[in-house]
Amino acid sequence: MKLKICGISDIDILKYACELGVDFVGFIMANASPRKISNDFLDSLENFNFMETSPVFVFVNPTVDEVKKITAKIKNPILQFHGDEEEIFCQQFNQPFWKTIRVKNSQSLEAINDFPSADALLLETFSDDAYGGTGKVFDWSLLENIKLQSKFILAGGINIKNLNDAISLNPWCIDVNSGVESSLALKDKTLMDQIIKSFNNG
């Protein structure tokens, strides 16, 4: 099982995550997010040593040029599409991509079938007023009839208190964002340590 820490916007936190051996680090590109990375931070990633960690860039309904700016600057990025993008849009960049399915009810999960070429599908909590980063958990019992196999990433409100429950669902990857923050958009090394230690022991 893999671990992703998303919403990183500080170079010191990024170095720490890579040193701890986190599988994926996520960078938010959406303008509406309090976790959106700055242009200076993006520039600092161009020659950054990610070691064994893979960078994931999270877009919400981007233009083609916005995505190409990343693929031109960063070596081997994973593209995560968190908005209303269709598969044909996601495919065109010839990069590994993840597609987010925002889960409101069992019907939401039917969208899984719309992205057969996605390298992974990220299951996130539906919200009327945000595309993600809500810090809320969706009803995980909706997943009982789905095999959380190689393609599924579990996201949405995962923290140290419910991490073991998330692990018990056996997704391919667990995505933690607000669960390692001491306040909005501020990642906390102590909370990261707790999550990683518990994850590795789980």
The residues near 85 (Cβ < 8 Å, ≥ 6 apart) are 59, 61, 62, 99
Write down the domain spans for the chain: 2-201
State how beta strands 173-176 and 152-154 pair. parallel
On the question of pLDDT at 149 being above 70, the answer is no
What percent of the chain clears pLDDT 70, i.e. is strictly above it? 94
With contact defined as beta carbons under 8 Å apart, do 175 and 26 qualify? yes
Q: Please give the model's pTM, rounded to 2 decimal places.
A: 0.94
Residue 125: pLDDT band (50, 70, 90) is confident
- pLDDT, residue 106, reads 87
Cα gap 103→94, rounded to integer Å: 27
Residue 148: pLDDT band (50, 70, 90) is low
- At the fourth CATH level, the homologous superfamily of domain 2-201 is Aldolase class I (3.20.20.70)
Residue 136: pLDDT band (50, 70, 90) is confident
